[in-house]
Amino acid sequence: MSPQPLPPIAGCEAELLALVQQTDPVFLPRTNLRLDRIRSGFACALHMHQPTIPAGAHGELISHLQYMLEHPEEGDNHNAEAFAHCYRRLADILPQLMADGCNPRIMLDYSGTLLWGFQQMGRHDILDALKLLACDRGLQPHVEWLGSFWGHAVAPSTPIPDLKLHITAWQHQFGALFGRQALQRVKGFSPPEMHLPNHPDTLFAFVEALRECGYRWLLVQEHSVENLDGSPLRQEQKFIPNQLIARSSSGQTATITVLIKSQGSDTKLVGQMQPYHEALGLGRQPLGATTVPALVCQIADGENGGVMMNEFPPAFLQAHHTIASRGEDPGTVAINGTEYLELLEAAGVDPADFPQIQAVQQHKLWQRIGAEPTPEATEAAIAALQASDPSFSMEGASWTNDLSWVEGYANVLEPMNQLSARFHQVFDPLVAADPAVTCSETYQNALLHLLLLETSCFRYWGQGTWTDHAREIHRRGEAAIALRAG
């Protein structure tokens, strides 16, 4: 099998980090919303993803979307072209709404593997639509792109050194497709599966990497976090920004602003515009010495299922037409995450007033460890709690508590951890000595297989075809690393 062209996932680390770490406002200079006129807002995000699998005609890596198109007789693969339409349709819907005098907003979360798949397939119809959504000056106030992990990894069970690799790989991919100015505007982060780590060292590394890579805020599921005293979030707390505190087992601290995705994972929440209807019943919320508009945040698959394929567009159109019919002071508006936070900052709202929260289950851990944690004390406390408390877990929390990304997947996780360890053993010293190593084909091919192996899909669909895909990617990753290791 001849080598495949590689996706743009590495090689420009220093330049991109300097770009994304700039702190100038992104939406504030062009927003047409006035904070003092807003009672409540709703922020809807659409998550789009297809994995990369070794299932081409000659075993090459292809997008699962391509596989669906080539095998329409299998399962729900007949939906492939409907999915493709969903990936590009906002480029038609938003201009239509704007022409109707509406003021729409949407947040978009596309995995790196999906974006690469469009390139591999030559789907310029989709890429041109996404370029419009990312780059068109008239659409910029209305569309916010969210960063994510390139390979759609679940953070709690991803090796810590690979978290930043996924983040920067996505930034490389997005910047290569849509330009560095578009990348500079990406300030919010959407973790795959809404999966937030709660192990202290994984969470700390995750938050630290986000901050280093220029992200200002993170979207989190409400039941994946708790207050510092261990209590669940208060109802009003779900509609304002919170400050996530990530404390490592060595006592280091990193923080990031979070917006709360409330309720469960049902796509009907966005498909039928539940966030808009919920926001209608909310008023301004106290925060520090002032009040701020309540914000209802939701994210759903943008293409998956009949509701999102068929019901979302008319519901989205109707909600925005209704808002427009209420004139200049509708009270409830669509607003995107960074836009909301920048308007609060411009109004003098101090992030120090945001409620402080932490990952769920951490109160039990810190209560046992005490004021001065150490790695040894942390691991001992985790072991003791796991032995004594059946409800205690360090697997993190995602959009559902009914699914484990760890149990029953040793045949994926062990090779994944082995490949990660081997990758860093071989390449970290080389990159430290010469950062230009990340430009090499050998490095990028090994990195590609490492990131692909960590894709959540190989631990979502159960044993069988998907774990076989993981096994083959692991084999190729080992071979790619061996080329450099000699």
322, 280 contact by CB (below 8 A): no
Sequence-distant (≥ 6) Cβ neighbours of residue 183 within 8 angstroms: 16, 19, 20, 171, 174, 175
- 390: pLDDT strictly greater than 60: yes
pLDDT band at 401 (very low <50, low <70, confident <90, very high): low
pTM for the whole thing? 0.95
Quick check: 273 and 316 in contact, CB under 8 A?
yes
Work out the number of other CB atoms within 10 angstroms of the CB of residue 407: 10
Compute and round to an integer the Cα radius of gyration of the chain: 22
**How far is residue 101's CA from residue 383's CA, in Å, rounded to a whole number?**
59
State the Cα–Cα distance between residues 355 and 255, nearest whole angstrom. Answer: 12
With cut-offs at 50, 70 and 90, classify the pLDDT of residue 405: very low
* Cα(185)–Cα(180) distance, integer angstroms: 9
Looking at residue 39, its pLDDT comes to 97
Mean pLDDT over each residue of the chain, to the nearest integer: 93
> How confident is the model over 41-88, as pLDDT tens digits?
999 999 999 999 999 999 999 999 999 999 999 988 999 999 999 999
pLDDT in tens, 235-278: 999 999 999 999 999 999 999 999 999 876 666 789 899 999 99
Does the structure show a pLDDT above 60 at 408? no
Coil/strand/helix, residue 261: strand
pLDDT tens string 281-335: 999 999 988 999 999 999 999 998 888 899 999 999 999 999 999 887 889 999 9
DSSP state for residue 74 in the 8-state scheme: S
Q: pLDDT, tens digit, for every residue of 152-177?
A: 999 988 999 999 999 999 999 999 99
Question: In terms of CATH architecture, what is 25-358?
Answer: Alpha-Beta Barrel (3.20)
Domain ranges of the chain: 25-358, 407-486
Banded model confidence at residue 398, pLDDT cuts 50, 70, 90: low
Phi, psi at residue 289, to the nearest 5°? -95, 10
Helix, strand, or coil here: 246? strand
Higher pLDDT, 289 or 13: 13
Q: Count each helix (H run) and each strand (E run) in the chain, helices first.
A: 19, 15
The H or E element spanning position 189 is: strand 188-189
The alpha carbon of 158 is separated from its chain's Cα centroid by a whole number of angstroms, namely: 14
CA distance 222 to 274: 16
